[in-house]
Amino acid sequence: MREDWKKHLVDSGAEFEGDELVHYGNPERERQMAVNGDVICDLSHRGLLEIRGADATEFLQGQFGNDIRQVDERHAQLSSYASPKGRTYAVFRVLRTQDGFLLEMPADRVEPVAKRLQMFVLRSDVIIEQAGDSRIRFGLSGPDAEKELQDALGACPAEIHEVVEKDGVTALRVQGVHPRFELFGGFDAMRRLWDALNVRGAPVGPHEWQLLDILAGIPSVVEATTEMFVPQMLNLHALGAISFDKGCYPGQEVVARMHYLGKLKRRMFRLAIQDGEPPTPGMPVFRADGKPDQADGELVAVELHPDGQYSALAVLKVDAAEAELRCGAPDGAPVTLCDLPYDVPEGA
């Protein structure tokens, strides 16, 4: 995190452990506000990768699962990067820049994705750089977030994945239980916007933003879950994050075969997990009457909910979703299935 921005956040009440922002003094209240109220959240816990050059579009078109040609100055997209076996390395948002693209993803995926992409550059005119400090980023969410952004910035994207630019700020609308936006820009513009939105919006820590992703059914892949899931298992087809007619890319045969010939036997569900051992991504989920060596799913993402339970996303066997489920072991913490805010097709 840039020191000038860190100082600004400290002046706003942020508390850090080392270089990591953790909360603004009252985590319980911040969780309540994130779910029910208007909040702003620094996004420095998310990594940025910048890809630019004359061949950037053609290069990325042959690497990612979505059609990057649909990304322009007015439209971003959700996409993914997979292994040749169709297993997902990373899920990220893609935004257009003046001379290339920005990929926004969990910070621990930036270096592995950059290294893998670099392997395939060869003689292409493509430059790949980590760009976490190149732009200040924070999120805005809440019942009145649309009005607050319009009043503070004078512009507001109306549709999911729509992008608008105004006064040095790029605003992207993303999925959420309330209107939700990610904002990018230089220090001065973002400091002014933060201060304007901070009048009615409560600052919250990174765990609250990740909770909002979970409630919106947006998956993430982190180091603990890399290469565990085919993109459809993460509901990426339901989120418009896979193109089935764009041409070849790593894992395309596996993804296409599942789409045209298969029926999903595993997909992502939203869960509520009762108190117990704090769950983590990659932790197994079992039927209560199952065997300890035969898991029925794995956690994708998990955060503490203000109701005292853990809110999670998990890839489960579809035929296990109606069973009594437990987290971590067949006799572990009880699990309840919750609704997702979108429909998932029965077929892949």
Report pLDDT digits (tens) over 258-304.
777 777 889 999 999 997 778 999 999 999 998 988 999 999 999 99
Percentage of the chain lying above the pLDDT 90 cut:
84
Torsions phi, psi for 245 (to 5 deg): -135, 25
Q: Are residues 69 and 142 in the same domain?
A: yes
CA 325-82-179 angle, 5° bins: 65
Report pLDDT digits (tens) over 232-257.
999 999 999 999 888 888 878 888 77
Q: Are residues 254 and 290 in the same domain?
A: no
Q: Are residues 215 and 333 in the same domain?
A: no
Alpha carbon distance 291, 282 (integer Å): 18
Report pLDDT digits (tens) over 77-129.
999 999 999 999 999 999 999 889 999 999 999 999 999 999 999 888 999 99
Beta-carbon contacts of 138 under 8 Å, excluding residues fewer than 6 positions away, are 40, 41, 42, 43, 182, 183, 190, 194
The mean pLDDT value of the chain amounts to 93
**Which pLDDT score is estimated for 47?**
94
Q: Are residues 174 and 284 in the same domain?
A: no
Residue 261 in tokens: 């010939």
Alpha carbon distance 222, 224 (integer Å): 5
Q: With 90 as the cut, is the pLDDT of residue 52 above it? A: yes
Residue with tokens 């507001």: 156
**Which pLDDT score is estimated for 318?**
92
Torsions phi, psi for 91 (to 5 deg): -120, 135
**Which pLDDT score is estimated for 279?**
95
Answer whether 173's CB lies under 8 Å from 162's CB. yes
Q: Are residues 204 and 67 in the same domain?
A: yes
Answer whether 216's CB lies under 8 Å from 313's CB. no
Q: Are residues 4 and 146 in the same domain?
A: yes
Q: With 70 as the cut, is the pLDDT of residue 347 above it? A: no
pTM for this predicted structure:
0.94
Evaluate whether residue 208 is within a structural domain.
yes
Report pLDDT digits (tens) over 128-152.
999 888 899 999 999 999 999 999 9
Residue 148 in tokens: 């607050």
Three-class SS of residue 180?
strand
**Which pLDDT score is estimated for 277?**
77
Kindly state the average pLDDT of the residues 155-177.
97
Answer whether 184's CB lies under 8 Å from 169's CB. yes
CATH number, domain with residue 337 = 2.40.30.110
Please state the domain count of the chain.
2
Q: Examine the fold and report which residue of 197, 230, 262 is the final residue of a domain before the chain moves on.
A: 262
Q: With 70 as the cut, is the pLDDT of residue 323 above it? A: yes
Query: Which residues are part of a known binding site for substrate?
Result: 182
CATH number, domain with residue 111 = 3.30.1360.120
Evaluate whether residue 347 is within a structural domain.
no
Query: Which residues are part of a known binding site?
Result: 182
Alpha carbon distance 215, 230 (integer Å): 21
Beta bridge partners of 88: 82
Residue 48 in tokens: 């940025």
Answer whether 265's CB lies under 8 Å from 325's CB. no
Torsions phi, psi for 215 (to 5 deg): -65, -30
Q: With 60 as the cut, is the pLDDT of residue 348 above it? A: no
Torsions phi, psi for 125 (to 5 deg): -80, 80
Q: How far is CA 187 from the centre of its chain?
A: 23
| Domain limits for position 269 | 265-342
Q: Examine the fold and report which residue of 262, 293, 327 is the final residue of a domain before the chain moves on.
A: 262
Beta-carbon contacts of 191 under 8 Å, excluding residues fewer than 6 positions away, are 5, 8, 136
Residue 163 in tokens: 């992008």
Q: Examine the fold and report which residue of 262, 287, 312 is the final residue of a domain before the chain moves on.
A: 262
Answer whether 242's CB lies under 8 Å from 231's CB. yes
Q: Are residues 280 and 316 in the same domain?
A: yes
Q: Are residues 269 and 255 in the same domain?
A: no
Q: Are residues 202 and 318 in the same domain?
A: no
